[in-house]
Amino acid sequence: MNLKLGDLVRFVDEPIEGHITSIQANDIIGVTDETGFEIPVLRSKLTLVHGNMRTVEDDLDDLPVQANLPFVDKGIYIAVLGEQKDGLAKFYIVNETSFELLVSVSEVSGSKTTGVFANSVPKHDFAQFYTANFSTVGKWPTFQLQIIRHSRLIQTQTQPISKEFRVKPLDLIISKERVEMLNDKAWLYEIDKPEEDIGLDKLKSHFISHRPYKK
């Protein structure tokens, strides 16, 4: 069984579930449960718990109703949930749009990447893709996000989203925001926000307008 960091697993012999937060020597896997404590356990004593495996066909019955509602084309977020005192942080893709998202998340290490999540996230839904300990926030990875927006309704063409994302320790100083979909507060990061294009002409005009006047 292929296990990787962030996977949701269940103990074979005990009623315990948690996420993999470390892979150690001698087939030992570190599993962090909801209490925030990491439990070492043999790989053979774990079974993988599959997450949200819904497909586009699951939503076909909703199309006639959804077609009468306004189409939401913006609202893709990463939400980080958890309390620092509890030790466990959970990372979610939150999809507030009317698109179905095809999402791939990889962990960046130098010039190489390791996949940690690949799945679809239905419209107006969410999916957890990673778990980490607050005690190691300075070592949290940089993620490479690749997202394709898909709809069976006619829409303006969109380009795939490809960007790197990382939570910095100072980010956790700001206040959380309420996320109704998760029924909790979280640190929110907008992924589909248009990036401002400064442009060469604007850059030139800025420096020319600020150049000291000479007689």
The pLDDT mean for the chain works out to 82
Provide the pLDDT for residue 177.
93
Structural domain contains residue 126? yes
Instruction: Give me the residue label for tokens 């306004």.
Output: 70
85 lies in a domain?
yes
Structure tokens at 125: 């839904």
What is the full DSSP assignment across 80-128?
Answer: EE--TTT-EEEEEEEE-SSSEEEEEEEEEETTEEEEEEEEEE-TTEEEE
Burial class (CB in 10 A: 0-12, 13-18, 19+), 3: middle
Span 67-80, mean pLDDT?
86
Joined tokens for residue 126: 């969410």
pLDDT at 46: 87
Residue 163 lies in a domain: yes
Residue 210 lies in a domain: no
> Does 81 lie in the same domain as 41?
no
Residues 123 and 42 in one domain: no
Same domain, 37 and 104: no
Question: Do the beta carbons of residue 8 and residue 19 sit within 8 Å?
Answer: yes
Asked if the model's pLDDT at residue 57 lies above 50, the reply is: no
pLDDT digits (tens, 9 = 90+) for 89-144: 999 999 999 999 999 999 998 889 999 999 999 999 999 999 999 988 999 999 99
Q: Computed from CA positions of residues 136, 137, 143, 147, in that sequence, does the dihedral angle turn out positive or negative? A: positive
Beta carbons within 8 Å of 152's beta carbon, 6+ residues apart:
56, 63
Q: What residue type is 85 in one-letter code?
A: K
Pair 31, 89 in one domain: no
Q: How many domains does the chain have?
A: 2
How many C-beta atoms surround the C-beta of residue 8 within 10 A?
15
pLDDT for residue 19 is more than 60: yes
Which CATH number do you get for residue 80?
Answer: 2.60.40.1600
Q: Are residues 103 and 44 in the same domain?
A: no
Does 3 map to a domain? no
Both 43 and 75 in a single domain?
no
In a domain, residue 113? The reply is yes
Residue 208 is predicted with a pLDDT of: 54
Query: Are 128 and 160 within one domain?
Result: yes
> Do 75 and 134 fall within a single domain?
yes
CA dist 164 → 23, 128, 133, 145, 168 (Å): 24, 18, 20, 6, 13
Same domain for 116 and 41, yes or no, is no
Quick one: pLDDT at residue 17?
85
Q: Look up the domain containing 17 and give its range.
A: 8-48
Same domain, yes or no: 35 and 88: no
Task: For residue 30, name the pLDDT band (cuts at 50, 70, 90).
Answer: confident
| C-alpha–C-alpha distance, residues 156 and 165, integer Å | 26
Residues 89, 123 within the same domain: yes
Are residues 42 and 63 both part of a single domain? no
195-215 per-position pLDDT tens digit? 665 555 655 565 555 555 555
Q: How far is CA 209 from the centre of its chain?
A: 42
Report if residue 63 sits inside a domain.
yes
Residue 197: what pLDDT? 58
User: What's the average model confidence in pLDDT over 73-98?
Assistant: 92
With H, G, I as helix, E, B as strand and everything else as coil, classify residue 132: strand
Which H or E run includes 77?
strand 76-81
